[in-house]
Every structure is written in structure tokens, then in C-alpha cells.
Amino acid sequence: MATTPATTWDPNLYDSNHSFVWKMGSGLVELLAPKTGERILDLGCGTGHLTAQIAESGASVLGLDSSSEMIGQARAANPGIRFDVADARTFAVEKPFDAVFSNAVLHWVKPPEQAVARIHAALRPGGRLVVEFGGRGNTRRMVAALLQQAHALGHPDYAIPWYYPSIAEYSQLLEQQGLEVLRAELYDRPTPLEGEEGLRKWFTMFCGSLLDRLTSSQRQQCLAALETELRPTLYRDGVWFADYRRLRLVAVRTN
Ligand code: BEZ
């Protein structure tokens, strides 16, 4: 889940309130179709749920994440799997992998070219990349409301920390670095958040880069205003939804 060290992650909060991240990643594991004996790298593995699912196929998996807290939890839950702390922009592997897998991570990684270079180096020629993350238009309404609050609370310089590329943009990045795109899809995936507090918990978990700049009363004001602004569009039948839009790609290393 984390791949650059700028954000501090709370693995318990992540697993208790944001389990949809890995639960919804199961379809991506099916697309990866890991096989016995393959060597697979899970980049941004978080607390290791999908890494464990990949390992069930009989593949040998390495999980990497920049958060030592997440890696600590992943190791404790999966003693038979290797997990290391590493940054997606700088990691290096001892031996190339048959596949690199990554779910809900690459929108955190800037500059993206660095991660693509490391992914390319981590794959054997012919090895595959199977990824999904926030694509162009992801969290569009949530971002607009957040920027509006940043302005209203005296932080007009605030910029979101995420990178949400289009199919064309990310395919070009991959192709420039020796990865041929076989399949790419950009699709809306409204994602239910847990409980009446789901929206504010999402902003609290992921938007520290703005909320940490606020006083505690400004913070409460901001979270309440976000709920008011987003309720007409993102609260349906008693459930909050994040307006997620995913970019899913399969590519192979050609050289
Ligand atoms: C996402 O999975 O799309 C996402 C998660 C946290 C912050 C921004 C986007």
C-alpha cells in the first residue's frame, strides 16, 4: 500500500477500516494467475493479504512496502513469506522475477518514471507486470471538495499527493522503458466505505498532507464540510462511496 516513505501508515486502522483495498484486489490476483514455482514480486504489499493469496498458488512471493509498520504486520501474519521494507522508486532485487504485481499503490509514487525503471529491472525478459491503481479522474469529487477546503482554510498552495494517469500516459511511460502494454482498462469503481463515519475516516487516513497543517478545530470543520459537500453525490442508501476510478494494466518486458 505504501511505496514512498512520506506517509506514516497505521496498519491496524488500515486493516480495520480500509480492508476493501485488498478485498477488492482479489480480481487482480486472478488476472495475475500465479503458478507453482513462479517468482512474483508484490510491490506495495501493505499488510500482506494479497501477497498471501498469491503464495497460495504455490508461487514464491516477495512483498515490498516502504512502511516498516505495514511490513511488521505482514511478517507477523505470514511467517512463511518474505517481506522487506523498500521504496518503489529505488528498490533493487537480487534475481529477476517472473511477474511484478501491484494493487492500489502506484498513484502514490512520484515521479512515476523511477518506479517504472525499477519494475523493468526487476522483471526477467518476457516477465509480466499486472497492476491496478487510481487512474485519470480517480476521486474526482473528493479531490475537488478537498481543494475547496484547502483554499477556504488558508492553504491555496496545497496540492494533492496522488498521480492519476490516463491509459495513454501510463502506456507511453511503460513503452518508453521496455514494457509492452497488452491490456489496459480505465473503469469507474465506486467503493463503499465502512460506516456512517466512512468518508471522514478515508480523509483522515489518506489526507494527512492537508489535515496535518490544520488546527484540531479546523480539522473538524474541514471534515464536516467535506461530508456536507459530498453527501448529495457520494452518500447513497445509507452508505458512503469513494468515487474511485481504476487504471488496470497488463504489460510484458520486451527487452
Ligand atoms: C485509491 O486507492 O484510489 C486511493 C487511496 C488513497 C488515496 C487516494 C487514492
Q: What is the pLDDT of residue 86?
A: 98
Domain-located, residue 4: no
Q: Per-residue pLDDT tens for 41-85?
A: 999 999 999 999 999 999 999 999 999 999 999 999 999 999 999
Domain-located, residue 171: yes
Q: What is the pLDDT of residue 17?
A: 67
Q: From CA 126, how far away is CA 99, in angstroms rounded?
A: 9
3-state helix, strand, coil in the chain (%, to 5): 40, 25, 35
For 41, 92, 121, 131, 231, the CA distances from 95, given in Å and listed in that order, are 11, 9, 10, 20, 49
Domain extent at residue 124: 11-138+162-194+244-253
Whole-number Å distance, alpha carbon 133 to ligand 1 midpoint, is: 8
Q: From CA 140, how far away is CA 245, in angstroms rounded?
A: 9
Domain-located, residue 207: no
Domain-located, residue 145: no
Domain-located, residue 107: yes
CA dihedral 82, 110, 185, 241 (to 10 degrees): 90
Nearest CA to ligand 1 atom 7: 206
Domain-located, residue 157: no
* Counted domains in the chain: 1
Question: For the domain that residue 174 is a member of, what is the CATH number?
Answer: 3.40.50.150
Ligand 1 contacts CB of residue 106 (under 6 A): no
Q: Is the pLDDT of residue 29 over 80?
A: yes
Ligand 1 contacts CB of residue 139 (under 6 A): yes
Ligand 1 contacts CB of residue 163 (under 6 A): no
Q: Per-residue pLDDT tens for 141-176?
A: 999 999 999 999 999 999 999 999 999 999 999 999
Q: What is the pLDDT of residue 35?
A: 97
Whole-number Å distance, alpha carbon 255 to ligand 1 midpoint, is: 32
Ligand 1 contacts CB of residue 246 (under 6 A): no
- Mutation test residue for ligand 1: of 108, 141, 146, 241, the one with most atoms within 8 Å of CB: 108
- Mutation test residue for ligand 1: of 244, 246, 247, 248, the one with most atoms within 8 Å of CB: 244
Domain-located, residue 110: yes
Q: What is the pLDDT of residue 3?
A: 58
Domain-located, residue 214: no
Ligand 1 contacts CB of residue 201 (under 6 A): no
Q: Is 217 exposed, middle or buried (0-12, 13-18, 19+ CB in 10 A)?
A: exposed
Whole-number Å distance, alpha carbon 68 to ligand 1 midpoint, is: 20
